[in-house]
Chains A and B, each alone.
Chain A
Amino acid sequence: SQTIHQWPATLVQPVGSPLSLECTVEGTSNPNLYWYRQAAGRGLQLLFYSVGIGQISSEVPQNLSASRPQDRQFILSSKKLLLSDSGFYLCAWSDRVVETQYFGPGTRLLVL
């Protein structure tokens, strides 16, 4: 069966510091991968999605970037964090047939 992992689970970072959040998927090949941000405990905002290694689409202009160095690895990064980057970051994957999205446990980021 497929599983999706995210780490770290919680992160507290100072403003201006770099960021790297990792997401990995097991049990599937060539998935679509997604990064979402959930602010204030509510709605989801799609940040990036990827249909293959090295292929990244950005949905909104922002301080963050994403990379997919391997088929089942998706990384969310920033060179300098802003206060407004605080939130709950969710990674998701979908297959290419039904394309239903399955979510990881999330990373809670607090920028101080």
Chain B
Amino acid sequence: GEDVEQSLFLSVREGDSSVINCTYTDSSSTYLYWYKQEPGAGLQLLTYIFSNMDMKQDQRLTVLLNKKDKHLSLRIADTQTGDSAIYFCAERHGGYQKVTFGIGTKLQVIP
């Protein structure tokens, strides 16, 4: 089956690094995504990684993919209060338009 799992909540202090983890089950996943949702808003695409990559870095964001363990993580360096939001992990299944989303991890940044 297709399933994406994330922890529900993460709390970090401003200036520290945040690491949000995600596991998925579909070995045929082609793309994996991280989205950010601020209160009352739609989902904003942060970054994505192709399944043949191990790592992708974009400014303060680092995505790590362990395809063997089906584990994806998002590291936010120097976390700011503006990073407080819900972060969704998502996987796109090969040859199909369907994307499965995790339940979302709520990141709380403490000043």
Q: Which residues of A are in contact with B by a Cβ distance under 8 Å?
A: 6, 32, 41-44, 46, 49, 51, 59, 90, 92, 94, 98-106, 108
Decide if A100 touches B98 in the complex (CB within 8 Å).
no
Question: Chain B's nearest CB lies how many Å from the CB of A36?
Answer: 8
Question: Chain A's nearest CB lies how many Å from the CB of B38?
Answer: 11
Name the B residues within 8 Å of A106 (CB-CB). 40-42
Looking at chain B, what size class is its interface with the partner chain? 20 to 34
A103 to B41, CA, bound (A): 10
Decide if B103 touches A101 in the complex (CB within 8 Å).
no
Total A-B contacts with CB atoms under 8 angstroms apart: 48
Q: Which residues of B are in contact with A by a Cβ distance under 8 Å?
A: 31, 33, 35, 40-45, 48, 86, 88, 90, 92, 97-99, 101-104
Which 8 A-B pairs give the minimum distances between C-beta atoms?
A: A43-B103, A103-B42, A103-B43, A44-B101, A106-B42, A105-B42, A32-B97, A104-B42
The prevalent SS among residues of B at the interface is: strand
Q: Assess A105 versus B41: contact at CB under 8 Å? Given A44-B88, A100-B31, A100-B33.
A: yes
The prevalent SS among residues of A at the interface is: strand
Question: Chain A's nearest CB lies how many Å from the CB of B72?
Answer: 15
Decide if A42 touches B103 in the complex (CB within 8 Å).
yes
Residue of B nearest to A45 (CB): B101
Decide if B48 touches A94 in the complex (CB within 8 Å).
no
